[in-house]
Chains A and B, each alone.
Chain A
Amino acid sequence: MGAYLSKRLSYIMIILAAASLMIFCLYAMTPGDFISSNIKLSAERKAELREIYGLNRPVLERYWTWLTHALRGDLGYSLAQQRPVLALFNTYIWNSFLLAVVSTFFTWVIAVIVGVVAAYRQYSWFDTLVMIVIFGAMSIPSFFIGLFLIKIFAVDLHLLPPGGITTTGSNAVGWAHVQEVIKHMTLPVAVMTLLGTGSLTRYFRSNMIDVIRQDYIRTARAKGVKESKVLFGHALRNAMLPAITLVGFELPALFGGSLIIEKIFNWPGIGQLYIQSFGQRDYPLLMGFTMLIAILTVIGTLLSDVLYRIADPRVKL
């Protein structure tokens, strides 16, 4: 295990180094730079600013500068926002995380329960209904369902706020603040859950169906174990094993924000910040964010491998 981990960690370093170079070059090669969109500047001033920001240097030199700073934990200042990249992350990522973690929780709970029941009652009317609903939910674009819910619950019924994370101008603290946030996150969480549940339910359903047919389930039943214990104790445990892989993939998603949902619900998350920074070619922020996601992705993969090993003694690392 120790040898395995150290080998994996050295791979991770190599992967991250290669990824950072590639990502840096891709951003550098995207047409236009931070200066070019400012139509107010004269050509001379543009050249002067490119000199100040170092944008006129060769890409590899710029990469080296970025890398040496990044290794010291300095991701630089956002050009557009004029604030340290890490401070910006700290401001925005937790808002995205809040949405992601709550909706992920609901998604998994619903998907597991519905998936198990649908598998147990395969081809029943419940199973059919679930499949229809799931395919329906998966096919509706998120922006449509988001706007539709805003129209119904915020604009027409005045039940929930149309967007944001708190009421504008609100000075609520403590429990009142928590209630306010819960009210604001209801719609976005509902949409994210609705969209995420579909594929996950199908995943659990098919895993369960596989497991239920196994000999050891029949053995358990033959021993007279209660049906609910068979399902949730024996079958689900085994059906969940492949899902550990998914846990690893969820990790970057938890911090990566959601571009569309955040935009529709005016949620001050990192996804919005990222897409806007891309339009501005705000290189330090783009680099910092993409690398963060890259790091979370490799850590997530490592995590799921290790977890798999812990959960399933048959797997050798």
Chain B
Amino acid sequence: MKKGFVILSGMVLASSLALAACGSDEAAQNAAAPSGAESVSSGDAGSGAEAQPAAQTTADAIQASDMSKLPSVAQQRTDTIIVGLTDPSGAFTPYFHQSGYDGNVSSLLYQSLLTVDDQGLPVGNLAESYEVSDDEKTYTFHLPKDAVFSDGSPLTAEDVAFTWTILHDKAYDGDSQIPELGIVGGADYKAGKADSVSGIKVIDPQTVSVTLENVDASAILQLGGDVLSKAYYGKDYKFGELEYIKKLHENPLGNGPYKLEKFIPGQEVRMIANDKYAKGKPATEHFIYKTSEGDAWQFVETGEIDYSSFAATQENLDKIKGLGFLSTVPYTPSTYGYLTLNHEHKQLQDKAVRQALTYGLDRQSIYVDANQGAGEVANIPTSPISWSYTTENINPYAYDPDKANQLLDEAGWVAGSDGIREKDGQKLTIHYLGRKSPDTDVFIALAEENYKAIGVDFQPEVLADFNALVSKVEGGDYDMAAFSTAMMTDPSEGITQFIDGEVLGYDNPEVTKLNKEALAVTDTAKRKEIYQKLYEVVNDDLPVIFTNYRKIVYAYNGRIENVTVSPFTGLADGLSEWTLK
């Protein structure tokens, strides 16, 4: 994976949250495509077409075994932690950056109102608490009295209101979804018909509320994002003119654990501990994101960076163990890989065909074994780390060519003289699109064989890069195309593509209805029940072929203690506790 930028999907608990998580894993996966979780790639796992079924040891954390092997460069670095990051561009203002790597940086410079726990459920962060009104449309956030930005200026409800408001400006070109939440009065403000967004109310300096037009259970994750100082970012603000923000990008003013010390383009982002951080000044004085495109190994091995992520292949794990001075945290990103299907093409409109294509594809070999264990087969549109994940009543679609053949026979597809099935004079062909990568090569090699065995004519086409793939898919000339979601925090993010027409020609009223229901309540237990039903439907109907989850390890220098990494928010929440021995 290479180029592009980290883009995260759906809703993001404050773009920074998901961005952070996404970026930090992608980033370190060396040539990891910034394009977020775009397609099924697994960083440096490229080497493995060779099957290693026994490579399932990823769940165990490795502890540094021999600190005497620690390179002296790292030994001498007593007050600085260095982490690799593919390519921060310098636009460190939350909501306004175009690169997810900038999101990684801003997630350390700003503290969001809320964060999420290990299952992706919102919990207070800067905000002491929040409550939802009885009609579930109004959210009220309570800020602590003594909240300040890193320059000592107070952080109040006015700043929060300003942040939400400026995102509704018609010139806003970032990818925050707040303007699309349907905040009352948001559309009027955007159209220039109102001076403020009427649904956003400052109740007192520590209390701010926001009212939505419709109940949306996923809204809380987006509203709970970073806060921009009105005094700083709003000083020159005029409606319709946001150009001035670009000049502030390199001098961010936040309230996070670290402050920006110096940005050296293409080289490093230096940060220094913020002594006014709400959770207390971080234990390590300096933190540096080192730009390290390309192979992160050379920097980890030489002790130049302290922390990096790698695909959890057996090869990488062995290497980490062999180095002796690295410890690891295993990690499953909250994404899922899938093969999108074009339902406008007749052969794919039949559920039996979609099921047969899933039974007939040896996903275990392609995504797990060929990846040396750095993967897991997916069957529903959510990640195993999410609170919504389930395996109950979920068909695992284990590789079963006989079952696939039987389904196709029953659906009326009969093998012709060349072994390819036909129905009504139409051959069963699958025109596949993928993006150039070692994983795509593995997929094509195995899928070609798998599909030949069930009489499907598999015609792969490989596009040069992610943009080219997206553009080709938008043109509609495909049957099947490989993608992965971006980082998801709320489970609804994994569903959106089945509702909004992104999966071409797919329209299942049941899915639409359940999705609506799941968003219309904010109670997690109730939502979980609805998602259970929804996943059963989707697992049976297969709007897309679910393929895989990725498995990653964070490797960090054994001289760092108290390392915690959130699967959703990355380093941001735990970093202030990391200490150097």
Known: A40-B486, A168-B288, A268-B265. A82 touches B468 (CB 8 A): no
Determine if B500 and A43 form an interchain contact, defined as CB atoms under 8 angstroms apart: yes
B265: chain A residues at CB < 8 Å are: 88, 91-92, 268
Determine if B291 and A39 form an interchain contact, defined as CB atoms under 8 angstroms apart: no
A31: chain B residues at CB < 8 Å are: 463, 467-468, 471-472
Known: A82-B90, A281-B467. A263 touches B293 (CB 8 A): yes
- The stretch that binds A, out of B5-13, B226-234, B401-409, B438-446, is B5-13
Determine if B293 and A272 form an interchain contact, defined as CB atoms under 8 angstroms apart: yes
Closest residue of chain B to A33 (Cβ to Cβ) is B467
A78: chain B residues at CB < 8 Å are: 89
Q: How far is the CA of A10 from the CA of B4 in the complex (A)?
A: 39
Closest residue of chain B to A168 (Cβ to Cβ) is B290
B423 near A: Cβ within 8 Å?
no
Q: How far is the CA of A24 from the CA of B327 in the complex (A)?
A: 49
Known: A32-B470, A52-B171, A83-B90. A39 touches B267 (CB 8 A): no
A140 near B: Cβ within 8 Å?
no
Q: How far is the CA of A278 from the CA of B5 in the complex (A)?
A: 11
Determine if A40 and B8 form an interchain contact, defined as CB atoms under 8 angstroms apart: yes
Closest residue of chain A to B87 (Cβ to Cβ) is A276
A301: chain B residues at CB < 8 Å are: none
Q: How far is the CA of A91 from the CA of B267 in the complex (A)?
A: 11
A92: chain B residues at CB < 8 Å are: 265-266
Determine if B485 and A39 form an interchain contact, defined as CB atoms under 8 angstroms apart: yes
Of A40, A83, A147, A163, chain B has the most CB atoms within 10 Å of the CB of A40
Contacting residue for A82 out of B89, B177, B470, CB 8 A: B89
Mark out the residues of chain B between 439 and 471 whose CB falls within 8 Å of any chain A CB in the assembled complex: 463, 465-471
Determine if A37 and B298 form an interchain contact, defined as CB atoms under 8 angstroms apart: no
Please give the distance in Å from A80's CB to the nearest CB on chain B.
Answer: 5
Q: How far is the CA of A182 from the CA of B271 in the complex (A)?
A: 26
A242: chain B residues at CB < 8 Å are: none
Please give the distance in Å from A200's CB to the nearest CB on chain B.
Answer: 28
Contacting residue for A163 out of B3, B71, B292, B502, CB 8 A: B292
Mark out the residues of chain A between 240 and 276 whose CB falls within 8 Å of any chain B CB in the assembled complex: 263-264, 266, 268-269, 272-273, 275-276
B180: chain A residues at CB < 8 Å are: 42, 45
Of B89, B266, B270, chain A has the most CB atoms within 10 Å of the CB of B266
A311 near B: Cβ within 8 Å?
no
Determine if A43 and B501 form an interchain contact, defined as CB atoms under 8 angstroms apart: yes
Determine if A83 and B246 form an interchain contact, defined as CB atoms under 8 angstroms apart: yes
Mark out the residues of chain B between 471 and 487 whose CB falls within 8 Å of any chain A CB in the assembled complex: 471-472, 474, 483, 485-486
Determine if A150 and B10 form an interchain contact, defined as CB atoms under 8 angstroms apart: no
A166 near B: Cβ within 8 Å?
yes
Q: How far is the CA of A279 from the CA of B465 in the complex (A)?
A: 7
> Interface residues of B: mostly helix, strand, loop or mixed?
loop
Please give the distance in Å from A173's CB to the nearest CB on chain B.
Answer: 13
Q: How far is the CA of A64 from the CA of B270 in the complex (A)?
A: 40
Known: A53-B173, A169-B288. A162 touches B298 (CB 8 A): yes
Of A52, A78, A91, A162, chain B has the most CB atoms within 10 Å of the CB of A162
Determine if B466 and A272 form an interchain contact, defined as CB atoms under 8 angstroms apart: no
B97 near A: Cβ within 8 Å?
yes
Closest residue of chain A to B250 (Cβ to Cβ) is A83
Determine if B294 and A37 form an interchain contact, defined as CB atoms under 8 angstroms apart: no
Please give the distance in Å from A284's CB to the nearest CB on chain B.
Answer: 12
Please give the distance in Å from A187's CB to the nearest CB on chain B.
Answer: 11
A117 near B: Cβ within 8 Å?
no
Of A32, A41, A43, chain B has the most CB atoms within 10 Å of the CB of A32
Q: How many chain-B residues does the 8 Å CB contact rule pick out?
A: 68
Determine if A38 and B7 form an interchain contact, defined as CB atoms under 8 angstroms apart: yes
A80: chain B residues at CB < 8 Å are: 5, 89, 98-99
Q: How far is the CA of A83 from the CA of B290 in the complex (A)?
A: 20
Determine if A272 and B474 form an interchain contact, defined as CB atoms under 8 angstroms apart: no
Contacting residue for B266 out of A30, A91, A158, A280, CB 8 A: A91
Please give the distance in Å from A295's CB to the nearest CB on chain B.
Answer: 23
B483: chain A residues at CB < 8 Å are: 39
B264: chain A residues at CB < 8 Å are: 268
Mark out the residues of chain A between 62 and 96 whose CB falls within 8 Å of any chain B CB in the assembled complex: 77-83, 88, 91-92, 95
B463: chain A residues at CB < 8 Å are: 31
Determine if A81 and B298 form an interchain contact, defined as CB atoms under 8 angstroms apart: no
Mark out the residues of chain B between 485 and 525 whose CB falls within 8 Å of any chain A CB in the assembled complex: 485-486, 500-502
Contacting residue for B468 out of A32, A43, A79, A158, CB 8 A: A32
Determine if A37 and B293 form an interchain contact, defined as CB atoms under 8 angstroms apart: no
A23 near B: Cβ within 8 Å?
no
Q: How many chain-A residues does the 8 Å CB contact rule pick out?
A: 53
> Interface residues of A: mostly helix, strand, loop or mixed?
loop
Known: A82-B98, A279-B2. A36 touches B267 (CB 8 A): no
Closest residue of chain B to A42 (Cβ to Cβ) is B500
B80 near A: Cβ within 8 Å?
yes
Q: How far is the CA of A77 from the CA of B246 in the complex (A)?
A: 10
A155 near B: Cβ within 8 Å?
yes
Closest residue of chain B to A49 (Cβ to Cβ) is B173
Please give the distance in Å from B83's CB to the nearest CB on chain A.
Answer: 10
Determine if A158 and B80 form an interchain contact, defined as CB atoms under 8 angstroms apart: no
Please give the distance in Å from A37's CB to the nearest CB on chain B.
Answer: 5
Contacting residue for B294 out of A38, A49, A263, A280, CB 8 A: A263
- The stretch that binds A, out of B299-307, B374-382, B551-559, is B299-307
Q: How far is the CA of A83 from the CA of B270 in the complex (A)?
A: 19
Mark out the residues of chain A between 151 and 204 whose CB falls within 8 Å of any chain B CB in the assembled complex: 154-155, 158, 161-166, 168-169
Mark out the residues of chain B between 154 and 189 whose CB falls within 8 Å of any chain A CB in the assembled complex: 171, 173, 175, 177, 180
A147: chain B residues at CB < 8 Å are: 295
Q: How far is the CA of A77 from the CA of B483 in the complex (A)?
A: 30
Q: How far is the CA of A269 from the CA of B293 in the complex (A)?
A: 12
Mark out the residues of chain B between 70 and 112 whose CB falls within 8 Å of any chain A CB in the assembled complex: 71-72, 77, 80, 82, 87, 89-91, 96-99
Determine if B89 and A169 form an interchain contact, defined as CB atoms under 8 angstroms apart: no
Q: How far is the CA of A275 from the CA of B5 in the complex (A)?
A: 13
Determine if A275 and B3 form an interchain contact, defined as CB atoms under 8 angstroms apart: yes
B291: chain A residues at CB < 8 Å are: 266, 268
Determine if A37 and B97 form an interchain contact, defined as CB atoms under 8 angstroms apart: no
B38 near A: Cβ within 8 Å?
yes
Please give the distance in Å from A157's CB to the nearest CB on chain B.
Answer: 11
Determine if B467 and A168 form an interchain contact, defined as CB atoms under 8 angstroms apart: no
Q: How far is the CA of A150 from the CA of B77 in the complex (A)?
A: 22
Contacting residue for B302 out of A40, A52, A154, CB 8 A: A154
Known: A77-B246, A80-B99, A82-B89. A37 touches B466 (CB 8 A): yes
A168: chain B residues at CB < 8 Å are: 82, 267-268, 288, 290, 304-305
Known: A161-B304, A275-B3. A37 touches B35 (CB 8 A): yes
A276: chain B residues at CB < 8 Å are: 3, 87, 293
Please give the distance in Å from A27's CB to the nearest CB on chain B.
Answer: 12
Q: How far is the CA of A159 from the CA of B98 in the complex (A)?
A: 38
A264: chain B residues at CB < 8 Å are: 294
Determine if B466 and A279 form an interchain contact, defined as CB atoms under 8 angstroms apart: yes
Known: A268-B266, A279-B465. A79 touches B98 (CB 8 A): yes
Contacting residue for A266 out of B38, B71, B286, B292, CB 8 A: B292
Q: How far is the CA of A33 from the CA of B483 in the complex (A)?
A: 18
Q: How far is the CA of A147 from the CA of B71 in the complex (A)?
A: 20
Known: A81-B90, A272-B293. A37 touches B470 (CB 8 A): yes
Some 5 contacts from A to B, beta carbons below 8 A apart, are A33-B467, A37-B466, A83-B246, A168-B82, A279-B35
- In the A-B complex, the 5 residue pairs with the smallest Cβ-Cβ separation, listed nearest first, are A279-B3, A268-B266, A32-B467, A31-B471, A32-B471
A residues adjacent to B (C-beta < 8 A):
30-33, 36-43, 45, 49, 52-53, 77-83, 88, 91-92, 95, 147, 150, 154-155, 158, 161-166, 168-169, 263-264, 266, 268-269, 272-273, 275-276, 278-281
